[in-house]
Amino acid sequence: MAPTCGVTPRRVSRSLKGTSMPSSHHQVSASINTEQLANKIAAAVESAWHRAYGAGRLDVPISVVATLAALPEKDSCGHHVNETVSSWDADTFHDFARHTWSSVIRHRPEITHLLHPMVSWIFDDPDREVRSHAVAVAQAALRAGQPHLTGTERRFDVDLLGTVLTVLRPKPALKARGQFYTPGSIAKLVAGMSDVREHSNVTDPMMGTGGMFRAVAEVMRERGRDPHTIRWIGCDVDTLAVACATVNSMIWNLGTDIVFQAGNTLEPGWREVALAQREELRRLAADLQRDQAMNAFVRSL
Ligand SMILES: C[S@@+](CC[C@H](N)C(=O)[O-])C[C@H]1O[C@@H](n2cnc3c(N)ncnc32)[C@H](O)[C@@H]1O
């Protein structure tokens, strides 16, 4: 049988459900560096979203970029996926997004509450207008070259979601909340000053979208160490930033020992609360799976 190429909503979202995102080789023209590409994508997303929707909710455009991060640069036959995905209509893109995040939540139930502020609209039966705006944003991100970034190993080098969130947020709000994320090069400099060993904890109590974690992982890899062995502990009051940090942990392949909390870092015990929530969600998911298996068994009798 001839191999089937191309990308369909059900076939492409292989990567977000595990611990890592798509892997392929550097492919974009050498003339544009990764930071510039991230800025270009963020500008395209911002312009498409504000043209279509105006200011206001940011969960839709940020989740569109997060969803597209599940795409490899090329499909199994070597075709560039953006050619296929660019032709999707609003319903097909929505179907793809729903399938992608259902799959992630099935495989990683313990991060459901962290992702919720970003992806809940996808499961809330959004109206046609919101779906059309979402696909318009997706097409803008694709035209700006997102698969060349998040569909390749370039994704390790930059915080695309943080860049998009910063560009989307109204400037006075950013200023009021002090939400200026550390530039990648500075974060790497800081990370390089500490000697993070495998099997240790790395904590950022005001993590934003997790840029410091990315830098630590980069330095660890350069030193031949495995970031999967780290417990990444982070907190932020901004629930959308925490959702971005959670998706970033997959984009940057940080492993699954993620202890994140959306809340006030000044409140004592947030780490313990985050750990307890994680364990509770894992237990509930295991119970559910056991009940489903039991039901299937009873039905088969
Ligand atoms: C300057 S940013 C730094 C983000 C990140 N650590 C970095 O280096 O890129 C400060 C972050 O702290 C968060 N923040 C401010 N007050 C906080 C609080 N009381 N509890 C948790 N997060 C807070 C903001 O939402 C923002 O994301």
138 vs 157: CA distance, rounded Å? 22
Domain interval for residue 29:
10-300
What is the per-residue pLDDT for 219?
98
149 vs 56: CA distance, rounded Å? 27
pLDDT bracket for residue 218 (50, 70, 90): very high
Q: Which of 235, 237, 239 to mutate to test the pocket of ligand 1 (most atoms within 8 A of CB)?
A: 237
Using the mean position of ligand 1's atoms as its centre, give its distance from the Cα of residue 124 in Å.
29
Q: Is residue 4 included in any domain, yes or no?
A: no
Residue with CA at minimum distance from ligand 1 atom 12: 206
81 vs 150: CA distance, rounded Å? 12
Is the pLDDT at 113 greater than 60, yes or no? yes
Q: Average pLDDT, whole number, for the chain?
A: 89
The mean per-residue pLDDT over the stretch 44-56 comes to 83
pLDDT bracket for residue 192 (50, 70, 90): very high
- Tell which atom from ligand 1 comes closest to the C-alpha of 182: 9
Give me the amino acid identity at 300.
S
pLDDT bracket for residue 10 (50, 70, 90): low
Q: Is residue 3 included in any domain, yes or no?
A: no
Is the pLDDT at 213 greater than 60, yes or no? yes
pLDDT bracket for residue 27 (50, 70, 90): very low
What is the per-residue pLDDT for 6?
58
The mean per-residue pLDDT over the stretch 63-74 comes to 95
Using the mean position of ligand 1's atoms as its centre, give its distance from the Cα of residue 135 in Å.
31
The mean per-residue pLDDT over the stretch 224-244 comes to 98
- The larger pLDDT score, comparing residue 193 to residue 26, is at 193
Q: How many domains does the chain have?
A: 1
What is the per-residue pLDDT for 179?
73
Which of the residue ranges 23-27, 105-109, 268-272 would you say has the lowest mean pLDDT?
Answer: 23-27
139 vs 137: CA distance, rounded Å? 5
45 vs 136: CA distance, rounded Å? 9
CB under 6 Å to ligand 1: residues?
A: 177-182, 204, 206-208, 211-212, 235-238, 241, 264-266
Phi, psi of 261 (to 5 degrees): -135, 130
Q: Is residue 240 included in any domain, yes or no?
A: yes
The mean per-residue pLDDT over the stretch 152-178 comes to 87
Using the mean position of ligand 1's atoms as its centre, give its distance from the Cα of residue 38 in Å.
21
- The larger pLDDT score, comparing residue 98 to residue 22, is at 98
Q: Is residue 2 included in any domain, yes or no?
A: no
Give me the amino acid identity at 174.
L
pLDDT > 90 fraction of the chain, expressed in percent and rounded: 72
What is the per-residue pLDDT for 18?
45
What is the per-residue pLDDT for 183?
93
DSSP assignment of the chain equals: -PPP-S--HHHH--STTSS--------S-TTS-HHHHHHHHHHHHHHHHHHHH-SS--HHHHHHHHHHTTS-SB-TTS-BHHHHHTT--HHHHHHHHHHHHHHHHHH-GGGHHHHHHHHHHHHS---HHHHHHHHHHHHHHHHHTHHHHHTSGGGGG--HHHHHHHHHS-HHHHHHHT--PPPHHHHHHHHHHS-PPTT-EEEETT-TTTHHHHHHHHHHHHTT--GGG-EEEEEES-HHHHHHHHHHHHHTT--S-EEEEES-TTSTTHHHHHHHHHHHHHHHHHHHHHHHHHHHHHHH-
3-state secondary structure 69-112: CCCCCECCCCCEHHHHHCCCCHHHHHHHHHHHHHHHHHHCHHHH
Query: 18-45 burial by CB neighbour count: b if 16+ within 10 A, else e?
Result: ebebbeeeebbeeeeebbebbbbbbebb
pLDDT bracket for residue 86 (50, 70, 90): confident
Q: Is residue 273 included in any domain, yes or no?
A: yes
Which residues lie closer than 8 Å to 184 by C-beta, 6 or more apart?
Answer: 35, 157, 158, 159, 211, 214, 215
Place of tokens 């109204």: 170
Q: Is residue 213 included in any domain, yes or no?
A: yes
pLDDT bracket for residue 297 (50, 70, 90): confident
| Calculated CA dihedral for residues 65, 210, 126, 124, nearest 10 degrees | 140
Is the pLDDT at 300 greater than 70, yes or no? yes
89-109: per-residue pLDDT in tens?
999 999 999 999 999 999 999
pLDDT > 70 fraction of the chain, expressed in percent and rounded: 87
Using the mean position of ligand 1's atoms as its centre, give its distance from the Cα of residue 47 in Å.
26
Q: Is residue 5 included in any domain, yes or no?
A: no
Is the pLDDT at 3 greater than 70, yes or no? no
Q: Is residue 1 included in any domain, yes or no?
A: no
130-146: per-residue pLDDT in tens?
999 999 999 999 999 99
Using the mean position of ligand 1's atoms as its centre, give its distance from the Cα of residue 208 in Å.
5
Is the pLDDT at 243 greater than 80, yes or no? yes
Q: Which of 206, 216, 232, 264 to mutate to test the pocket of ligand 1 (most atoms within 8 A of CB)?
A: 206
24 vs 15: CA distance, rounded Å? 12
What is the per-residue pLDDT for 12?
46
Is the pLDDT at 13 greater than 50, yes or no? no
202 vs 204: CA distance, rounded Å? 7
Give me the amino acid identity at 209.
T
Residue with CA at minimum distance from ligand 1 atom 2: 179
201 vs 210: CA distance, rounded Å? 14
